[in-house]
């Protein structure tokens, strides 16, 4: 066993509910805290000196100076395996060009598809690992990573195999998701339904055979896949044994209902979700995932996180890091800004980037500092835990622990 501490403050998130609104008074904050670890799991949380007296002759790892500890963060929605750059899209969008105009000029998702297809496996792996390391430096140790910039058998499998290879070269937990249904590629000879059938018959069986992903995603939107064809596709992917998540209600409402109806683990985006659908989501176990990075990148309104929480929904917050609409990648900055506009409590933000995001990925054993949980936790050099969100991402994580071992 090993005892780590003392922490000026330990913000455990223990005993917080999975769904609904939270007050900051519900946060458990332990002063002069310690974490007792065995086999990569948390054995006990409490006062450092008390734990030291209770467990003599064990390894002690001292925390230098005043530092606060949190459960490590979870980013449950990213697109960080990609080639190329879409800075021109951002410039054109800010100059007043529409999504369609940008796409017609060679930008948009199809631009990322072309760059990703032409990139070598070595290049994609190297840039993916760089982005993973950046996220780890922010205190994020669990990262969902989507395909979706290949859009044919060879290139979707190339992306997913690279994500699997990256898992062997990082201590972070990567959760691969097959997003072959990002949009119908321009070079596919057939309509949407034929392309979705192609995914079901030509891509997903190999994904399953090689254990490249256990999750499937689809972008339901007027510019991508329509509600009814998407619902049928999702039901068929469930029949194949995959968990599902959905890009829902980004620009138009209605698809979040599909996510709930088919039992998706999460419905992500929700910027266009209407009030009656908020109530529908809130009574389900489908996580409502806010992606403030996309709102900032596109100049669109934020996910109605306040209304969702007040209605009793499970609300997670993720970065949506991608080369087009959400290039920032800084989850802490995005979550802090979302909190400002949506009036979220510190407890709600911390829950949204820890155990509620972990739940969206089916990883309920992490995201809190509680007995039996995975010993992934982080520290910040400050005497007050509130400073982390107050500084909106400029206060960087000091130490990163995975399975109780310091990795950064």
> If residue 379 lies in a helix (H) or strand (E), which one and from where to where?
strand 377-380
Q: What is the DSSP string of 205-216?
A: HHHHHTT--SEE
Query: Which pLDDT tens digit goes with each residue over 46-80?
Result: 999 999 999 988 999 999 899 999 999 999 999 99
Q: What was the pLDDT predicted at 408?
A: 87
Q: What are phi and psi of 29, to 5 degrees?
A: -125, 115
Mean pLDDT of the chain: 97
Can you give the pLDDT at residue 98? 81
Q: What is the mean pLDDT of residues 145-163?
A: 98
> Could you give the angle at the alpha carbon of 34 between the alpha carbons of 30 and 39, nearest 5°?
130
Nearest to 60 by CA among 4, 117, 136: 4
User: What does the pLDDT read at residue 76?
Assistant: 98
What pLDDT is attached to residue 66?
95
pLDDT of 398 strictly over 80: yes
Q: What are the Cα distances from residue 219, in Å, to 88, 159, 233, 244?
A: 23, 18, 11, 12
Percent of the chain with pLDDT over 90: 94
Q: Is 23 exposed, middle or buried (0-12, 13-18, 19+ CB in 10 A)?
A: exposed
Q: Alpha carbon 286 to chain centroid distance?
A: 15
Query: What per-residue confidence (pLDDT) applies to 200?
Result: 98
Which pLDDT score is estimated for 69?
Answer: 98
Across-strand partners of 29?
Answer: 11
Query: For 225-270, what is each residue's pLDDT tens digit?
Result: 999 999 999 999 999 999 999 999 999 999 999 999 999 999 999 9
**Residue in the block written with tokens 């009030």:** 275
Instruction: Give residue-wise pLDDT tens across range 71-116.
Output: 999 999 999 999 999 999 999 999 998 877 888 788 889 999 999 9
For residue 68, what are the CA distances in angstroms to 26, 312, 336, 379?
Answer: 18, 30, 18, 5
For the chain, which domains are there?
2-72+367-406 (2.30.40.10), 74-360 (3.20.20.140)
Query: Among the listed ranges 21-30, 90-99, 154-163, which one has the minimum average pLDDT value?
Result: 90-99
Cα distance from N-terminal residue to C-terminal residue, the chain: 21
Please determine, for residue 142, whether its predicted confidence score (pLDDT) is greater than 80. yes
Q: Are strands 140-146 and 405-406 parallel, antiparallel or unpaired?
A: unpaired
Give percent of the chain above pLDDT 70: 100
Q: What is the pLDDT of residue 103?
A: 80
pLDDT range class, residue 360, cuts 50, 70, 90: very high
As a whole number of Å, the CA-based R_g of the chain is 21
> For 299-342, how does the pLDDT look when each residue is reduced to its tens digit (9 = 90+)?
999 999 999 999 999 999 999 999 999 999 999 999 999 999 99
Three-state secondary-structure class, residue 323: coil
Residue in this structure with the two tokens 């071992």, named with its chain if needed: 405
Note the pLDDT of residue 346: 98
DSSP secondary structure string for all residues of 239-292: HTT-EEEEEESSSSSSHHHHHHHTT-SEEEE-TT--HHHHHHHHTSS-EEEE-H
* Residue 390 predicted with pLDDT over 80: yes
Q: Which of 396, 357, 378 is nearest to 9 (CA)?
A: 378
């Amino acid at each position: 066993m090993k005892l780590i501490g003392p922490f000026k403050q330990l913000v455990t998130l223990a005993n917080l509910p999975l769904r609904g609104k939270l007050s900051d008074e519900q946060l458990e904050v332990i002063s002069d805290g310690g974490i007792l670890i065995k086999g990569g799991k948390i054995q006990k949380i409490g006062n450092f000196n008390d734990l030291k007296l209770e467990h003599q002759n064990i390894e002690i790892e001292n925390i230098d100076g005043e530092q606060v500890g949190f459960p490590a963060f979870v980013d449950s929605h990213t697109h960080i395996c990609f080639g190329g750059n879409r800075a021109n899209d951002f410039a054109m969008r800010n100059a007043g060009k529409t999504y369609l105009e940008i796409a017609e000029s060679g930008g948009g998702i199809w631009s990322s598809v072309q760059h990703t297809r032409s990139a070598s496996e070595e290049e994609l792996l190297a840039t993916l690992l760089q982005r993973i390391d950046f996220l780890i430096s922010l205190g994020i140790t669990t990262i969902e990573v989507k395909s979706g910039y290949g859009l044919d058998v060879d290139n979707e499998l190339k992306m997913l195999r690279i994500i699997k290879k990256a898992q062997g070269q990082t201590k972070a937990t990567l959760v691969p998701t097959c997003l072959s249904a990002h949009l119908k590629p321009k070079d596919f000879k057939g309509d949407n339904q034929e392309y979705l059938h192609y995914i079901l018959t030509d891509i997903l069986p190999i994904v399953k055979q090689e254990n490249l992903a256990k999750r499937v995603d689809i972008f339901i939107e007027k510019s991508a896949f329509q509600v009814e064809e998407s619902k049928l596709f999702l039901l068929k992917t469930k029949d194949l044994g995959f968990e599902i998540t959905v890009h829902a209600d980004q620009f138009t409402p209605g698809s979040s209902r599909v996510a709930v109806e088919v039992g998706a683990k999460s419905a992500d985006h929700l910027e266009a979700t209407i009030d009656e659908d908020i109530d529908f989501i809130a009574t389900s176990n489908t996580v409502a995932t806010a992606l403030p990075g996309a709102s900032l990148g596109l100049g669109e309104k934020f996910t109605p996180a306040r209304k969702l929480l007040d209605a009793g929904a499970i609300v997670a917050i993720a970065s949506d890091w991608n080369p087009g609409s959400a290039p920032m990648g800084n989850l802490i900055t995005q979550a802090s800004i979302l909190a400002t506009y949506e009036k979220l409590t510190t407890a709600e933000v911390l829950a949204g980037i820890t155990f509620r995001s972990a739940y969206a990925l089916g990883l309920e054993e992490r995201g809190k500092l509680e007995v039996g949980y995975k010993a992934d936790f982080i520290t910040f050099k400050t005497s007050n835990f509130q400073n982390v969100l107050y500084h909106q991402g400029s206060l960087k994580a000091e130490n990163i622990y995975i399975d109780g071992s310091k990795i950064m």
